[in-house]
Amino acid sequence: MSSVKIYDTTLRDGSQAEGISFTVEDKIRIAHKLDELGVHYVEGGWPGSNPRDIDFFEKAQRAHFSQTRITAFGSTRYPDKKVEDDSVLQALLKTETQVVTLFGKSWDLHVKDALSTNLDENLRMIFESIAYLKKRRDEVLFDAEHFFDGYKNNPQYALKAVKEAESAGADWIILCDTNGGSLPHEVRSIFEEVKKSVSIKMGIHAHNDSEVAVANSLNAIQAGAEQVQGTINGYGERCGNANLVSIIPNLKIKMGIDCVTDEQLLSLKDVSAFVDELANKAHWNQQPFVGKSAFAHKGGVHVSAVRKNSQTYEHIEPEKVGNFQRILVSDLSGKSNVLHKAKEYGLDVDDKDPKVQKILESLKESENLGFQYEGAEASFELMMRDALGQKEIFFEFIGFRVIVEKRQEDEEPISEATVKLRVNGVQEVSAAEGTGPVNALDKAIKKALVKFYPELEEINLYDYKVRILEEKKGTRAKTRVLVESGDHHTKWGTVGVSENIIEASWQALIDSIDYKLNQATKPGQSAGGK
C-alpha cells in the first residue's frame, strides 16, 4: 500500500466520549486544525441527531478548507420506510456536504435484536439508502457496523451486507470493529478474505475496548485497507476509538505509507494538545509520539547513552512529530543528567568539576526530603546555579505572616498576608488580601518587589498542586506544593516541601520569582538595574 486516506471522526464519534462536549465553534476550530494536519475527511457529526450538528454543517459550508472534505454521518433508512420520506437521509442532504457516510447493520444479531426487522429488509435498507444518496452526492461511504463480530457469527450474511452496498454504488466499504473486541490477527485475516469479494476501496474503523485499536488499524492496512478512521487522542464511546495520533506517524515514518506530508506531520503534537485543550482534558504525558514524556529520559544510563546517540533509547526523531527530547532530574540521575541540564540552561560546567557531584548529592538529599523536580525544573535550575555560584541574589527574606479570618458562618473567610523583605539594603513591608492564604501571599510578595523589579508584573500563576507525602501522619504530614507560573513568553514550574502548607507554598512562590529574575539577567548582572 503506497498511500492511505485519513478519516477523522473526533467531532462525531470522539464527542460521544464521556465528559466531552464540543461547542459549534470548537468543532469549526478543530476542523481547521485537522485540515492543517492533512486529514482527508473530517466527519462533522450526525445532522439528524441534534441542532448543534446542524449548526456546524451550516458554518462549515462557509468555511474554507484546503484539503479536508467535510463529511456528514447518518444511518440507512428506517425499516419499512421510503428513502424520500426518511428523516435521517433528508437531514444528510440538507447539510449539502458532497461526502456522506452511512452506517448499516452487517451482524444478523443486530438486525434482529436492535432493528427488530428481518435480514432481507436490512439488505434493502442498505441498497436503497446508498443508491438514493449516490445519485445526489459525489461520494458515499458505507460503514459496515459490527462487521467483524457479524462475520465471525455469520460470514455469509456479513458479506451480503457489504456486497449490497457495493452494488448500490458506494465508493468505500469501511469494516467496523464497533465493539472493539477483535484482535489484530482476526482483523487481518477477515479483511483479507473480504477483499477477495469486494472490488471497491475499503477502510477500517476500530474501537479500543481491547486496547488494540491502533494495532487492528495497522493490520487492516497491511491487508489492503486504503482508508483508516479514528479520532485525535483516541477519544470515543466507552474506551475510545483508534488513535490517529499514533496511527499517522506509524504509517508515515515506520511503514513508509503516504498519508500526510513531512511538513504536516510536524504539527501532530500541536493538534493533539489543541484538541485536548478544547475538550478540557489534561494532555496525557505518556501518550506515544506526542506526550511530554514520550522522549523523556530519567535513568543515568539512558541519559548517558542518548547524549552520545539518541537512537539508543528513542524509536524516532521526536522533532518529526513536533516533539522534543527531555532529560529529567531525580535521585536516579547520574552525572550525564546534570551535564545535559547544565547545557540546556546555558550554564558553564566542566564534567570534572567537583561541583557536579555536589549537585547530585543535593538532588538526592532534596528528593529524600520530599522534593521532586520532574515538574519543577525551574527550582532545579536555581539549585544548580546556587551550587555553581551563578545564582543572583535579588532580595533577602526577613519574614512573613498570614492571617485567615472568618467573621460569620455564611461568609467566606478573609485571607491577608504580610511580607518583610530587604532589597539593596532597603527593608520593604507589604500586605495584601487574597481569595485564599496562598493567593494573598503571592500578591504581597509581588507588591513588595515590583517597585524594584517591574518585570514581575508579567508573572501569572497558572497552576497550583498539593500532594500529601506521608498520609499516615495525618495533619502532621509533609506537603509538596507544585506551582506553574508564566509570563508572556514561557511557563516554568517550582516546588516547595514542608509540614506547613503555607511554608511549602512560600518556597515555591519565591523560587518562581527568583527564576524569573535570574532569567532576566546575564551572569554578573542584575535585573531591574540593581
What ranges do the domains of the chain cover?
Answer: 5-260
Report the pLDDT value the prediction gives residue 26, as an integer from 0 to 100: 93
More confident residue, 525 or 281: 281
Alpha-carbon gap, residue 8 to 100, rounded angstroms: 13
Report the pLDDT value the prediction gives residue 52, as an integer from 0 to 100: 87
Q: What are the pLDDT digits (tens) for 80-135? A: 999 999 999 999 999 999 999 999 999 999 999 999 999 999 999 999 999 999 99
Q: Are strands 172-177 and 201-206 parallel, antiparallel or unpaired?
A: parallel
Q: Which helix (H) or strand (E) segment is 404 a member of?
A: strand 396-405
Closest CA to 9 of 168, 304, 271, 232: 232
Alpha-carbon gap, residue 179 to 360, rounded angstroms: 51
Q: What are the pLDDT digits (tens) for 17-60? A: 999 999 999 999 999 999 999 999 999 999 977 788 999 999 99
Alpha-carbon gap, residue 102 to 66, rounded angstroms: 24
Report the pLDDT value the prediction gives residue 495, as an integer from 0 to 100: 93
Arithmetic mean of pLDDT, 228-253: 98
Report the pLDDT value the prediction gives residue 150, as an integer from 0 to 100: 98
Report the pLDDT value the prediction gives residue 362, as an integer from 0 to 100: 78
Beta strands in 35-155 (DSSP E): 41-45, 69-75, 99-105, 139-145
Residue 523 predicted with pLDDT over 80: no
Grid cell listed for 43: 466527519
Arithmetic mean of pLDDT, 435-446: 93
Q: Which helix (H) or strand (E) segment is 417 a member of?
A: strand 414-423
Q: What letter represents residue 277's amino acid? A: E
With b meaning 16 or more CB within 10 Å and e meaning fewer, what string describes 496-529? bbbeebbbbbbbbbbbbbbbbbbbbeeeeebbbe
How many Cα atoms within 13 Å fall on the side-chain side of residue 41? 26
- The mean predicted confidence, pLDDT, of the chain is 91
Distance in Å from the first CA to the final CA of the chain: 65
For residue 384, name the pLDDT band (cuts at 50, 70, 90): confident
Using CB atoms within 10 A of its CB, is residue 346 exposed (0-12), middle (13-18) or buried (19+)? Answer: exposed
Query: Residues 91, 47: contact at Cβ < 8 Å?
Result: yes
Residues 6+ apart with CB under 8 A from 244: 6, 8, 39, 228, 230, 231, 232
Residues 6+ apart with CB under 8 A from 156: none
Report the pLDDT value the prediction gives residue 248, as an integer from 0 to 100: 98
Looking at domain 5-260, its CATH architecture is Alpha-Beta Barrel (3.20)
Q: What are the pLDDT digits (tens) for 166-188? A: 999 999 999 999 999 999 999 99
Report the pLDDT value the prediction gives residue 332, as an integer from 0 to 100: 56
Q: Are strands 491-498 and 479-486 parallel, antiparallel or unpaired?
A: antiparallel
Beta strands in 236-323 (DSSP E): 296-297
Alpha-carbon gap, residue 275 to 243, rounded angstroms: 13
Grid cell listed for 50: 441534534
- What is the pTM (predicted TM-score) of this model? 0.73
Alpha-carbon gap, residue 431 to 416, rounded angstroms: 7
Alpha-carbon gap, residue 300 to 330, rounded angstroms: 10
Where is mean pLDDT largest: 132-136, 385-389, 491-495?
A: 132-136
Alpha-carbon gap, residue 239 to 160, rounded angstroms: 30
Alpha-carbon gap, residue 194 to 135, rounded angstroms: 26
Report the pLDDT value the prediction gives residue 525, as an integer from 0 to 100: 39
Q: What are the pLDDT digits (tens) for 316-372? A: 999 999 998 877 766 556 666 777 777 778 887 777 778 888 787 777 788 778 887
Arithmetic mean of pLDDT, 51-70: 94
For residue 113, give the 3-state DSSP assignment. Answer: helix
